[in-house]
Chains A and B, each alone.
Chain A
Amino acid sequence: MAAGYDYATNVISSEGKVYQLEYAAKAVESSGTTVGVQCKDGVILASEKLMMSKMLVDSTCKVVHKVDDQIGVAYSGIGPDGKSIVGLAQNIAHKYKQNYGERIAPGVLAQQLGDILYAYTSYAAYRPFGAHALVCGYDEDHKESQLYLCELDGTVTRYWGTAVGKGARSARTEIQKLKLTEKTCAEALPLLAKILHTVHDPSKDKPFVLEAGWATDATKGTFSRVPKDVLAAADAEGKAASEADGAAHGGAAAAAAGDA
């Protein structure tokens, strides 16, 4: 198929593909699912953080990160690459504040982040990042919360709701059904937890820890980790709902996880 045209990012195959980008995206498709949605009163990122050992401390290897007062970034893909992207996002926010004396808008940050991700796809000396990033936050000019997806090839798109990672496809389908723009973040969180539990297949996947962060009217646009008790309640509710569905549809959960 690729016949030698798939070894480098600076080579295009005769079909017009940069194969290295597609291979990098494969790394994302085998990692935990991350969902992001914009709701009536804010924006949420939630992630299925796969734990490779039961001896790991729950809080380790965070995938949902705060990068500035009002902005959060979550990723799916190769862990260290994702962490590095978070560092880049923090730098962008920091520099913007130094230069302009005000906080960066999430859309501006997402675009600048995309520019860097893009740069890594166009030099022979580097490889692309093996992770997609979701950027969310409060835009002070437009007085609204926003969600962006920065893909590893540099594409930046604003979404009302999207998902990346192993269960992305079925998670996206579920998100579309929910009409989350008409719900509050507090109402949406258990529904997102349910989606993550549904795309998770305990028989094949490592156990996971639910991580979530939000910027809502209640947090005054500040991005913060969802409080432990709220998250635990949403996690339990989502899990129960997912199991009830699974029982009703005779293993639909496993099928949903399988389609990725």
Chain B
Amino acid sequence: MNRNDYDTDVTVFSPQGRIFQVEYAMEAVNQGSACVGLAAGEYVVLAALKRLPSKLATHQRKLLPIDEHLGVCISGLTADARSLCKYLRGECLNHKYVFGSELPVGRLMSGLADKMQECTQSYVRRPYGVGMLVAGADKTGAHLFQTCPSGNVYEYKAHAIGARAQSARTYLEKHYDGFAALAAAGDKEALLLHALRALASCTEAEEELSVDNASLGVVQVGSGFEVVDGTSMAPLIARLADFNPDPPAAAAAAAGTAADAAAADAADEDDDMAMA
């Protein structure tokens, strides 16, 4: 990282109008392991790569359920993510107490964005060092959001964050047009396999997706958020090798670009215990 004179306080603009402390916080997201999300029809699917901090440890949790209709996938500082999750859960519970219904995802994201923005404007705080993909379903449909330490919240059709996420983003852009048909046909499994396939392109060189290091989440309008991992994910992992993203020609092209992107994204970090 280049040091410069304007990068130690979150309350200082650089002569170009940048806030480096926020940009550095954004970097924490890129250091975390990959998260993939895609929204199609009434479904949103999340997939995450879990890190093993030590051989004597369990894999770190990446997917956190928030409410019946909502779950998040985190990349960056785990502790910051847990604190934000506490906020999200509180907001959802509060809404349920007051209105007896599930909090619309966009409203929740708006509140979260404001909360995260506040930390970028005061000397006594620091930006949150975590990015999240949020999958939720409400009466306006199924939504996928990305949150950033900067306080930006984006709604995406499909997106990936974290280390080597560019290759997953390339995969998703390539195949996104096919997702709507799968969603319309109710083929949840195919959507999950697409997410896993996108995630597979974010693994380290020797690493393969397994029931231990991957986890999946899916939310469907009307039927809530569900985490799919461990044994319930085993059949999907088993099918992954044979899974042929349609059409075959596009798949081959995607695999090619994914490999390029992975190579370009080679700069890597070793096991940082604080990073999820």
Check whether chain A touches chain B (CB < 8 angstroms): yes
* Contact surface of A with B, Cβ cutoff 8 Å: 2, 6-9, 19-20, 23-30, 53-57, 59-61, 78-81, 83-84, 87, 120, 124-130
Q: Verify if B99 is at the interface (C-beta below 8 Å from A).
A: no
Cross-chain contact A27 with B18 (CB below 8 angstroms): yes
Q: Does residue B87 face the partner (Cβ distance < 8 Å to A)? A: no
SS class, residues of chain A in contact with chain B = loop
Interface core residue of B116, B120, B159 (most chain A CB under 10 Å)? B120
User: How far does the Cβ of A95 sit from chain B's closest Cβ, in whole Å?
Assistant: 17
B6 touches A7 (CB 8 A): yes
Known: A8-B12, A26-B13, A54-B173. A83 touches B117 (CB 8 A): yes
Range, interface on chain B: 35 or more
> Is there an interface contact between A130 and B17, defined as CB atoms closer than 8 Å?
yes
A7-B6, A83-B151, A120-B121 known; A55 and B11 CB under 8 Å?
A: no
Q: A26 to B16, Cβ gap below 8 A?
A: yes
Select A126's contact among B16, B122, B173, beta carbons within 8 Å: B122
Asked if B243 is an interface residue, CB under 8 A from chain A, the answer is no
CB-contacts of B9-24 with A (<8 A): 9-19
Q: Complex formed: what's the CA distance from A190 to B13 in Å?
A: 36
Q: Which of A24, A56, A128 is in CB contact (< 8 Å) with B154? A: A56
- Interface SS of B by simple majority: loop
Q: How far is the CA of A23 from the CA of B6 in the complex (A)?
A: 11
Cβ of A55: which chain B residues have Cβ within 8 Å of it? 156-159, 169, 172-173, 176
Smallest Cβ distance from B190 to chain A, in angstroms?
Answer: 19
CB-defined contacts of A29 to chain B, threshold 8 Å: 17
Closest chain A residue to B18, Cβ basis: A27
Complex CA–CA separation, A55 to B113 (angstroms): 20
* In the complex, chain A residues whose CB is within 8 Å of the CB of B5: 7
Given contacts A80-B117, A127-B10, contact A57 B16 (CB under 8 A): no
B97 at the interface (CB under 8 A from A): no
Given A7-B12, A26-B15, A61-B154, decide whether A125 and B123 contact each other with a Cβ distance below 8 A.
Answer: yes
Q: How far is the CA of A25 from the CA of B14 in the complex (A)?
A: 11
| Chain B stretch 158-196: residues in CB contact (< 8 A) with chain A | 158-159, 169, 172-173, 176
Chain A nearest CB from B249 CB (Å) reads 21
Are A127 and B172 touching (Cβ within 8 A)?
no
Please judge, given known A-B contacts A61-B154, A80-B113, A80-B120, whether A24 and B11 are in contact too, CB under 8 Å. Answer: no
Enumerate chain B residues within 8 angstroms of A6, measured Cβ to Cβ.
15
Nearest chain B residue, comparing its CB with the CB of A60: B155
Shortest C-beta distance, B219 to chain A (Å), equals 16
Min CB distance A80 to B, Å, is: 3
* A2-B15, A7-B5, A80-B151 given; 20 more Cβ-contact pairs under 8 Å: A8-B11, A9-B11, A19-B15, A23-B14, A23-B17, A27-B13, A55-B158, A55-B159, A61-B154, A61-B155, A78-B19, A80-B113, A81-B151, A87-B114, A124-B11, A125-B123, A127-B12, A127-B13, A127-B121, A130-B13
Q: Which of A9, A55, A59 has most chain B Cβ within 10 Å? A: A55
Residue B118 at the chain A interface, CB threshold 8 Å: yes
How many angstroms between the C-alpha atoms of A60 and B157 in the bound complex? 11
**Contact residues in B for A125 (Cβ distance below 8 Å):** 11, 122-124
> In angstroms, how far is the closest chain B Cβ from the Cβ of A260?
13
**B150 on the interface (CB 8 Å rule)?**
yes
What are 11 contact pairs spanning A and B, CB under 8 A? A7-B9, A26-B16, A27-B17, A53-B159, A55-B156, A55-B173, A60-B154, A83-B151, A125-B122, A127-B121, A130-B17
- Does A83 lie within 8 Å of B113, measured CB to CB? yes
User: With an 8 A cutoff between CB atoms, is B152 at the interface?
Assistant: yes
Closest to B13 in A: A23
Report how far A79 CA is from B151 CA in the complex, Å. 8
Q: Which 4 A-B pairs have the closest CB atoms?
A: A80-B151, A26-B17, A27-B17, A23-B13
